[in-house]
Amino acid sequence: MINKHQPASNPPPAGDVRGVTVSSPATVANVVCGFDILGFALNSPCDEFTLALSDEPGVQIINLDDFNLPTLAEKNVSGASLLALLDETPDVKGFTLYSKKQIKPGSGIGSSAASAAGPVVAANHLLGHRFSKQDLVRFAMFGEKVASGVKHADNIAPCIYGGVTLIRSIHPLDIISIEAPPLHVTVVHPQIEVRTSDARQILKQQVLLKDAIKQWGNIAGLVAGFIKGDYDLIGRSLEDFIIEPVRSILIPGFDEVKKNCKSAGALGGGISGSGPSIFMLSRDADTAKAVEVEMIAVYEKIGLAYQTHVTTINMEGVKIS
Amino acid sequence: MINKHQPASNPPPAGDVRGVTVSSPATVANVVCGFDILGFALNSPCDEFTLALSDEPGVQIINLDDFNLPTLAEKNVSGASLLALLDETPDVKGFTLYSKKQIKPGSGIGSSAASAAGPVVAANHLLGHRFSKQDLVRFAMFGEKVASGVKHADNIAPCIYGGVTLIRSIHPLDIISIEAPPLHVTVVHPQIEVRTSDARQILKQQVLLKDAIKQWGNIAGLVAGFIKGDYDLIGRSLEDFIIEPVRSILIPGFDEVKKNCKSAGALGGGISGSGPSIFMLSRDADTAKAVEVEMIAVYEKIGLAYQTHVTTINMEGVKIS
């Protein structure tokens, strides 16, 4: 399985047996009432990573995109994840990673999670699948820490597992796959910067018990709605009394986007991750497209640059190409 | 369907076509991490109510037990529920209710809910099932208000619907039946008084966001565990970081009961309703009996009178006899 050092100047040719290429998806975390515990993977956009075993110790990173991300492994999200994996693979010297990101950093749809998760899934493939998905989440959390200072898993888990995932507990790590009916997702990324650390700082450390009760009623309803495939229940449960009222003020146009998208038929939605992207869930593709039209109208009116994605929930997570 | 005035001095003879007898079950509310939103019904104990239509206006109450509950309809839990139903049935003059309670008031296993729910289910049967289950919950909430001052539904809903029920929202009322695998329930009722109002007052109005996040991770896990029939997930999710640490100090022996019952194989459990009863869930009947032995041992040692119930989850709720 161990192969020779991979020349670093160019990506390996397609079909090169010494490397593996993966597609690592964007993800939505903090799903409305599921702050810090619920996320799901998207079918697009996806990052592309090619990983090869190397005889040089550590992780060599070659960026094939224009994001100018750090190439020092310890400072790079993918690098830090792979270094954590290398700590538990004494028989492996190092890796060379070719990184071709499509998911904009800072968009709120799990750009750093895709960087953290894709390479460790690729590594596990090269190493004969010796690690469990939960191990891979654990390694990738070291990458998330580089990105946001916090070892959270709510983007990484759906990125690796696919579908909708619940992080019931972070210590100990307990990830549960939640079945869901077919769902269409529309995302708008207004091109402003909301730093995860700022979005976290603005939250109150204490919440009213009566609001917390409403929130856990809704998350219970949302999980039941997903597993039962009850679209109406999913829609009714997509309410957030705690995080959204505070964070949405950082996102221009949020209230109007939400109101207009629901009028256009969306089941509901909210802030993706810590923003600024906003996501909406719909029952069918036509509604998801109508929702996109509403999103575009709001940001055209405001005069703020934006990007949209109309996609579906990705059921398999990081995929070997 | 309307029948003649029922003589009030004695219960109607069995099989009397002018009346109907129902069995109204005990319930467990505030299921650990599901404070104020999750409950389930028990197969025992149950109250028995016989209801007959009457030509006298209002509700006449005849107690056939030794609990000395009020007989003035407005002050009686069953009476208040039936009066709420009468408000929406202008074609009906009144009812005579024969009440034979088995569930001790103040035990924390939904004695007032059984009193509120049983009679309105009986009335709906006599009136040709003109009301939905949700309507019946709405009427019975007037009875709960007489008992505790609050129109909560987390005991009434499982009492009427059977099984495990989620109150996703109280305004508007949104009740969701949650499928669950076979579960055995052991309850111990230490014979001390914990008033619902006191148990509510002792709660803090604010909670830490980090604790609330753990709580909604657990309720999401518990609902997923129930619907998937995943006993281990149910067990792992039965944690309460918010209510139990505060309320359990009102219940002598709580920590020891919980610890010993889990050592004996219980999946987990906690305070039933607002206490003082403690419930434990088990996978099989033998474990549920072993759990009862542990509960008895704790209260024998403390020297506190107690009552135990070893039963299963009641899937049908109030039952017409």
Higher pLDDT, B92 or B149: B92
Asked if A169 contacts B235 with a C-beta cutoff of 8 angstroms, the reply is no
- Asked if pLDDT for residue A145 goes beyond 90, the answer is yes
Of the residues A152, A177, A211, A213, the best mutation for testing chain B's interface (the one with the most B CB atoms within 10 Å of its CB) is: A213
- pLDDT-derived band at B15 (thresholds 50, 70, 90) equals very low
Cα–Cα distance for residue pair B280/B256, rounded to 1 Å: 13
B103-to-A273, B99, B110, B117, B289 alpha-carbon distances in Å:
48, 12, 8, 13, 20
- The catalytic residues of B are 144, 196
- Would you call A197 an interface residue with chain B, using a CB distance cutoff of 8 Å? no
From chain A, the residues in CB contact with B35 under 8 A are 213, 216
Amino acid at B189: H
Compute the nearest-CA separation of B155 from chain A (Å). Answer: 15
pLDDT score, position A152: 87
Each domain of chain B, given as residue ranges in start order, spans 19-178+316-320, 184-312
Compute the nearest-CA separation of A222 from chain B (Å). Answer: 8
* Residue A276 Cα to chain centre, angstroms: 14
A14 CB neighbour count, 10 Å cutoff? 9
- Would you call B238 an interface residue with chain A, using a CB distance cutoff of 8 Å? no
CATH fold of the domain at A19-178: Ribosomal Protein S5; domain 2 (3.30.230)
- Would you call B213 an interface residue with chain A, using a CB distance cutoff of 8 Å? yes
- Asked if pLDDT for residue A29 goes beyond 50, the answer is yes
From chain B, the residues in CB contact with A169 under 8 A are 214, 217-218, 221, 236
What's the mean per-residue pLDDT of chain A?
A: 93
- Would you call A236 an interface residue with chain B, using a CB distance cutoff of 8 Å? yes
In this chain, the answer to whether the domains covering A19-178 and A184-312 adopt an identical fold is no
Chain B residue closest in CA terms to A215: B216
Tokens of B108: 């924390």
Of the residues B209, B210, B215, B238, the best mutation for testing chain A's interface (the one with the most A CB atoms within 10 Å of its CB) is: B209
Task: Outline where A105-132 has alpha helix (H).
Answer: 111-126
Cα–Cα distance for residue pair A75/A115, rounded to 1 Å: 12
- Would you call B185 an interface residue with chain A, using a CB distance cutoff of 8 Å? no
Owner of token pair 């059921």: A315
- Would you call B219 an interface residue with chain A, using a CB distance cutoff of 8 Å? yes
Between A209, A227, A233, which is nearest B206 by CB? A209
DSSP string over A236-287? HH---SSSHHHHGGGSTTHHHHHHHHHHTT--EEEE-TTSS-EEEEESSHHH
DSSP string over B53-122? EESSSEEEEEE-SSS----SGGGSHHHHHHHHHHTT-TT--EEEEEEE--SPTTSSS-HHHHHHHHHHHH
Q: Which residues pair with B186 in a beta bridge?
A: B280, B310
Residue contact A208–B208, C-beta within 8 A: no
Candidate from A153-157, A194-198, A233-237, A274-278 with smallest mean pLDDT = A194-198
Chain B residue closest in CA terms to A33: B216
Residue contact A166–B221, C-beta within 8 A: yes
- Asked if pLDDT for residue A296 goes beyond 70, the answer is yes
- Asked if pLDDT for residue B162 goes beyond 90, the answer is yes
- pLDDT-derived band at B2 (thresholds 50, 70, 90) equals very low
Tokens of A243: 């995080």
From chain B, the residues in CB contact with A37 under 8 A are 213, 216-217, 220
Our answer to whether residue A144 is catalytic in this structure is: yes
CA dihedral B268, B270, B272, B273 (to 10 degrees): -120
As its CATH architecture, domain B184-312 has: 2-Layer Sandwich (3.30)
pLDDT score, position B9: 47
From chain A, the residues in CB contact with B38 under 8 A are 220
Cα–Cα distance for residue pair B94/B104, rounded to 1 Å: 27
Chain B residue closest in CA terms to A222: B220
What's the mean per-residue pLDDT of chain B?
A: 93
Between A176, A203, A228, which is nearest B209 by CB? A203
- Would you call A212 an interface residue with chain B, using a CB distance cutoff of 8 Å? yes
Cα–Cα distance for residue pair A103/A88, rounded to 1 Å: 29
- Would you call B236 an interface residue with chain A, using a CB distance cutoff of 8 Å? yes
Q: Which residues pair with A89 in a beta bridge?
A: none
pLDDT score, position A194: 79
Percent of chain A with pLDDT over 90: 89
pLDDT score, position A151: 81
Among A165, A196, A287, A311, the active-site one is A196
pLDDT digits (tens, 9 = 90+) for B26-67: 999 999 999 999 999 999 999 999 999 999 999 999 999 999
Compute the nearest-CA separation of A172 from chain B (Å). Answer: 11
CATH number of the structural domain B19-178+316-320 = 3.30.230.10
Cα–Cα distance for residue pair B269/B267, rounded to 1 Å: 7
- Asked if pLDDT for residue A115 goes beyond 50, the answer is yes
Among A21, A96, A144, A239, the active-site one is A144
Smallest Cα–Cα separation from B158: which of B31, B55, B282, B49?
Answer: B31
